[in-house]
Amino acid sequence: MRTPVIILNFKAYRESFGERGLALAKICEEVAKETGASIVIAPQQIDLSLMVKEVDIPVLAQHVDPIGEGSFTGHISPSAVKEIGAIGTLLNHSERRLPPEMIKSTVEKCRDVGLETVVCANDIEMGRVAASFGPDYVAVEPPELIGGDISVTSANPEVVSGTVEKVKEVNPNVIVLCGAGVKNGEDVRKAIELGTEGVLLASGVVKATDPRSALLDLAGGL
Ligand code: G3P
């Protein structure tokens, strides 16, 4: 992914799957082309292949499992996600938590097939542990701020700067992002001032009455 970056997590909102999700993805593509901003989307798994085909911006899965190919009913294989054209995946999001050993093995499987990994961390210590597994990105997101109206960059800037510090101590190659409550360009600017290379967000755009305006404002902060 080109940084600084805005990753829009579609989650499982009604507004962000199927035809409505595709319309949202096309807005993201338009804003990316209009502004030159690096905008990446993480649609629901059911729409991954559709989004890769229909829009010309990078697409992430929201989760994959540490499996190869074969008899793994109900799992999501990294090799299949790679083959359909996604560039990577979120892992260990607060809403899809994994045990540390599973994060480690999934990062390894993703590396083997060439998928970028954005490992989510709820606090500084988890960010440090996540960095030790060698992902491409660590995204710190305090769960209590997710979906709220106050950005982590205002409510708890120390968790952002502290995660940057600890992650870089463990592995200087890991890029730090932050998320939770990010809503506007000022929040993005603060995230970058705090040492991150971008943001992960959802409701500020997916639930916005005017997603295009919201995304244009956010892109202005990069
Ligand atoms: O993955 C990003 C997400 O957890 C943040 O949610 O709604 O606070 O932007 P939101």
Residue among 6, 7, 8, 9 to mutate when testing ligand 1 (max atoms within 8 A of CB): 9
Asked if 93 is an active-site residue, the reply is yes
Give the model confidence (pLDDT) of 83-105 as tens digits.
999 999 999 999 999 999 999 99
Domain count, the chain: 1
> Domain containing 177: what range?
5-220
* % residues pLDDT > 70 (the chain): 100
The span from the CA of 44 to the CA of 89, in Å, is 11
181 CA closest ligand 1 atom index: 8
Quote the pLDDT of residue 55: 98
Helix (H, G, I), strand (E, B) or coil at 68: coil
Ligand 1 center–CA 214 separation, angstroms: 14
Give the model confidence (pLDDT) of 17-61 as tens digits.
999 999 999 999 999 999 999 999 999 999 999 999 999 999 999
Average pLDDT, the chain: 98
146 CA closest ligand 1 atom index: 8
Quote the pLDDT of residue 119: 98
State the Cα torsion 42-65-86-95 to the nearest 10°. 0
The CATH number covering residue 69 comes to 3.20.20.70
Quote the pLDDT of residue 101: 98
pTM score? 0.98
**Side by side, which strands form the sheet with 60-61?**
38-42, 5-9, 198-201, 175-179, 137-140, 116-121, 88-91, 60-61
State the Cα torsion 187-188-193-194 to the nearest 10°. 70
Instruction: Tell me what the mean pLDDT of segment 184-198 comes to.
Output: 98
